[in-house]
Amino acid sequence: MPQKQTRKQSISMTRGARKRDEDSGTDVGEGTDDWSQSKATVRPPDQLELTDAELKEEFTRILTANNPHAPQNIVRYSFKEGTYKLIGFVNQMAVHFSQVGNLIPKDSDEGRRQHYRDELAAGSQESAKVVTSDTEILEEDEEPKEAETEAGSQTDVPAAAEAEAETTEKVIEEEFMAPVQPKERKLTNQFNFSERASQTFNNPLRDRECQMEPPPRTNFSATANQWEIYDAYVDELEKLEKTKEKEKTKTPVAKKTEKMTMRKLTSMESQSDDITKVSQAAKIVERMVNQNTYDDVAQDFKYYEDAADEYRDQEGTLLPLWKFQNDKAKRLAVTALCWNPKYKDLFAVGHGSYDFMKQSRGMLLLYSMKNPSFPEYIFSSESGIMCLDMHVDHPYLVVVGYYDGNVAIYNLKKPHSQPSFRSTSKSGKHTDPVWQVKWQKDDMDNNLNFFSVSSDGRIVSWTLIKSELVHIDVIKLKVEGSTTEIPEGLQLHTVGCGTAFDFHKEIDYMFLVGTEEGKIYKCSKSYSSQFLDTYEAHNMAVDTVLWNPYHTKVFMSCSSDWTVKIWDHTVKSPMFIYDLNSAVGDVAWAPYSSTVFAAVTTDGKAHVFDLAVNKYEAICNQPVVAKKKNKITHVQFNPIHPIIIVGDDRGHVTCLKLSPNLRKMPKEKKGQEVQKGPAVEIAKLDKLLNLVREVKTKT
């Protein structure tokens, strides 16, 4: 009992000593007397002295939502009306304080995680508090023990007490080091989703680097002044006025098609801007690829000569080279072929239909032998193209004749789908299909001039004056001896249907016209009412009439009556007649010889004649179309290369090379030079004509 009392007394004494120490630490600060004194009011020197009545007077102030500092005279430019206009509505909101918050819903996953973290932190703090309270109690219990040991130092402390103290200290330290942790609550997934993952092997990456020269750069800067902007607007207005003037002159059909093309252009402008930058380079690359693809054909074109010709008896062959075709013109027949007079590898192809019941659209394609896979230029038309011709001095101008009777001029420098100039029903278009067109020399005022022939019996001269086609009827074909008298006293003439014509190479005013009746008329530009001569040429329609490029008296004609005839225009009977056992679609003179010509027939064969070698039959007779059903419609010789092109009614154009026997030149004799030139060619053909004349005079 006395030990317990002494312990309580010591604890109370120690606590009392602590309180005294704490109380002794608080001292009364200085200046308490000054604070307790009364406060005196200080008046500013400029304060107004008001009476009691003025002080009691009330002033009402109304608070509104308008911001007094907001500007009331803001003016902005209106592009619609072209003037500066006052803005009526001004933002009146004034922000005094703003703070960005980040609130998370309690039910969300992130909210649950934060709540769980707070619980963990609170639990750890409580455990720490419990441990600290236990340690304080133990310290208080140890203090009296120390006092007792000091008082009774004579008595020894038993070893068991020391052992107990050590064990208690260890337990306290363990509890303090490892706070009590509440059980982790499992977060349930409301979608009951189980995530499974697998690790895949990633292939190692390799770095490839190449060093190149940086592209050249230039700094450009400019200032846009008011006058520069004004000039730009003026230029734009001038362009609009010019386009309006052009639209006035155009036909309604052309306007509709232009609108459609403009819509397509606007949708593709962004693409075309990028494409035009690389178009030239892309074209060169395309030609290089084609040259590699068709390398064997190009080698044959340049170097191959048929060695078998040496063993043949004056007979030759045709070697197929390239085949030109386009998907858009697949079911359209080849109605016209023409080589460009300046660029010898470029030729134009007209597509249409000879069938009256199957008339649809037409196409004008220009191919180059450098790129046989795709045409250089593509033009489409609503009516079928039946004929075309390219200008000698202006090789970019192509005149075409349509099945609906119109004529038009295409300009290759302007890549528009529509022709630059076109006839209309008001400007004297033909009423029947236009079968042939030919450029002529410019008139006295240097205006472009061409002729056209049609089934309506009119031969028309067209002149381009101030971007308009002006027509003059040169001659109206009439069938001789077919006039019928009406009881009223009038005479009706049967109209002759023109199918082909050709102009003399030296005599400008003279030209030949072939008709559907099989007759050939020799006409003059000066006389519109009378023919210079009439030839009873064929029994069916004349398909082609051609003057010889060397001999001024000789011309050739072909017809659907299976015959090809060679004429001297001074004699009414033909010099040579060849029967080819099928309707002849076209004939063409060779540019390198006065006695060589080619003819194509509807049975798919090409015939090449050389009168100097064989006067009686062809020296080459070869089928050149893959299928027998395909009918060959046209043939043309290249001006400088030993090749011909033939077109069929399926839209295909085939290029063929002439073997050496088909282009024989006079052999060199020892000690003599070979004579070349037009005079030699004329003499060669004259010799043949004289032989024929002698035979005729004898008979």
Compute the average pLDDT of residues 212-234: 87
pLDDT tens for each residue of 611-636: 888 888 888 888 888 766 778 889 99
For the chain, the distance separating the N- and C-terminal CA atoms, rounded to the nearest angstrom, is 180
Q: What is the pLDDT of residue 26?
A: 46
Angle at 470 between CA 464 and CA 476, to 5 degrees: 125
What is the average pLDDT score of the chain?
Answer: 78
Angle in degrees, 0-180, between the axes of helices 159-177 and 109-151, rounded to the nearest 10: 160
Q: Highest-confidence range of 107-111, 186-190, 191-195, by mean pLDDT?
A: 107-111
pLDDT at 14 over 70: no
| Residues facing 536 on adjacent strands | 519
Write a three-state SS string for 642-662. Answer: CEEEEEECCCCEEEEEECHHH
| Confidence band of 68 (pLDDT split at 50, 70, 90) | confident
Sign of CA dihedral 291, 292, 294, 295: positive
pLDDT at 234 over 90: yes
| Confidence band of 3 (pLDDT split at 50, 70, 90) | very low
Rounded distance between C-alpha atoms, residue 119 and residue 288, angstroms: 78
Angle at 271 between CA 222 and CA 276, to 5 degrees: 70
Rounded distance between C-alpha atoms, residue 600 and residue 620, angstroms: 12
Rounded distance between C-alpha atoms, residue 607 and residue 621, angstroms: 5
Query: Helix H segments across 85-156?
Result: 109-151
For the chain, give the percent of residues with pLDDT over 70.
Answer: 75
Rounded distance between C-alpha atoms, residue 258 and residue 418, angstroms: 8
Query: Which helix (H) or strand (E) is 545 found in, with range?
Result: strand 542-547
Identity (one letter) of the amino acid at 507? Answer: I
pLDDT at 178 over 60: no
Rounded distance between C-alpha atoms, residue 82 and residue 234, angstroms: 17
Q: 456-471 burial, b if ≥16 CB within 10 A, otherwise e?
A: bbbbbbbbbeeeebeb
Rounded distance between C-alpha atoms, residue 385 and residue 332, angstroms: 10
Q: Among 639, 546, 643, 660, which Cα is nearest to 592's?
A: 639
| Residues facing 352 on adjacent strands | 333
Angle at 619 between CA 615 and CA 623, to 5 degrees: 135
Q: Among 688, 482, 689, which Cα is nearest to 573's?
A: 689
Rounded distance between C-alpha atoms, residue 379 and residue 408, angstroms: 12
Rounded distance between C-alpha atoms, residue 87 and residue 475, angstroms: 76
CB atoms within 10 A of CB 680: 14
| Confidence band of 238 (pLDDT split at 50, 70, 90) | very high
pLDDT tens for each residue of 356-403: 777 788 888 999 888 888 888 888 888 889 899 998 888 888 999 988
Q: How far is CA 394 from CA 389, 412, 448, 452, in A?
A: 11, 10, 10, 19
| Confidence band of 126 (pLDDT split at 50, 70, 90) | confident
- SS3 state at 149: helix
DSSP assignment of 280-306, as one string?
HHHHHHHHHHHHHHTHHHHHHHHH---
Q: What is the pLDDT of residue 496?
A: 73
Q: In what order do the strands lie in the sheet with 449-454?
A: 434-440, 449-454, 458-465, 468-476
Do 692 and 354 form a contact (C-beta atoms < 8 A)? no
Say if residue 604 is exposed, middle or buried (CB neighbours under 10 Å; 0-12, 13-18, 19+): buried
Rounded distance between C-alpha atoms, residue 388 and residue 435, angstroms: 9
Rounded distance between C-alpha atoms, residue 114 and residue 101, angstroms: 16
pLDDT tens for each residue of 529-571: 677 888 888 888 888 898 888 888 888 999 988 899 988 888 8
